[in-house]
Chains A and B, each alone.
Chain A
Amino acid sequence: QQPVQSPQAVILREGEDAVINCSSSKALYSVHWYRQKHGEAPVFLMILLKGGEQKGHDKISASFNEKKQQSSLYLTASQLSYSGTYFCGTEGGGGYNKLIFGAGTRLAVHP
């Protein structure tokens, strides 16, 4: 039931791109993406709702393929501040915003 995130870890140089994937075995209503820096609380990035939309926030964007029950997070021209652990949280419906989080993808951006 927990969504599967891949890869588990990524190391980038500043300016490089990365894609983080989130896959569920169940039908999804929405997918949330959060970033957590070491010792801090998770911070919301974006929500994607059923409908296959793509969203963007600065140089971070995401897509949601409800038929495949998958979402991808795209990080372009990465900055040092992008370092952290990225979690997807999946919602299966029911109206209560109950999220099941993946195990996370650790991203390290180096100069």
Chain B
Amino acid sequence: EAGVAQSPRYKIIEKRQSVAFWCNPISGHATLYWYQQILGQGPKLLIQFQNNGVVDDSQLPKDRFSAERLKGVDSTLKIQPAKLEDSAVYLCASSPGSRGEQYFGPGTRLTVT
């Protein structure tokens, strides 16, 4: 079974630029999560989708971050414009239902200069 795929793996941008990350969850997984992990900290949930609907985006900085999950499968997370404090690893995870084990992708390491 293929795992969660993410791209790109690394991205370096200047502040005020925009960037987009892509995630392909495990086939059949209804729930998709985007996390931000700052160095030395635990993952922080940004947004959670159930199929193609948002169930939680309470910690998503909506003035600069946006996310969508088209057709309930792939998802993209966008930052526009980026700030220095957005430097982090962005992890995508998926789970079969609304409960249970979450499977994480390899992450995208973003550096904002």
- By a CB distance below 8 angstroms, the chain A residues around B42 are 2, 87, 89, 101-104
- By a CB distance below 8 angstroms, the chain A residues around B40 are 103-104
The answer to whether A97 and B107 have CB atoms under 8 Å apart is no
Binding site for B on A (CB under 8 A): 2, 30, 32, 34, 40-44, 47, 87, 89, 95-104
A contact face: mostly helix, strand, loop, or mixed: loop
Given A41-B106, A42-B91, A95 contacting B98 (CB threshold 8 A) = yes
B1-40: CB near A (< 8 Å → 1, else 0) gives 0001000000000000000000000000001000000001
B contact face: mostly helix, strand, loop, or mixed: loop
Q: How many residues in B have their beta carbons less than 8 Å from beta carbons of A?
A: 25
Question: Considering the chains assembled together, what is the distance between the CA atoms of A30 and B102 in angstroms?
Answer: 13
The answer to whether B43 and A87 have CB atoms under 8 Å apart is yes
Given contacts A97-B48, A101-B42, 12 further A-B contacts (CB under 8 A): A2-B42, A40-B106, A41-B4, A43-B104, A44-B101, A44-B102, A47-B101, A95-B99, A96-B48, A96-B50, A103-B40, A103-B42
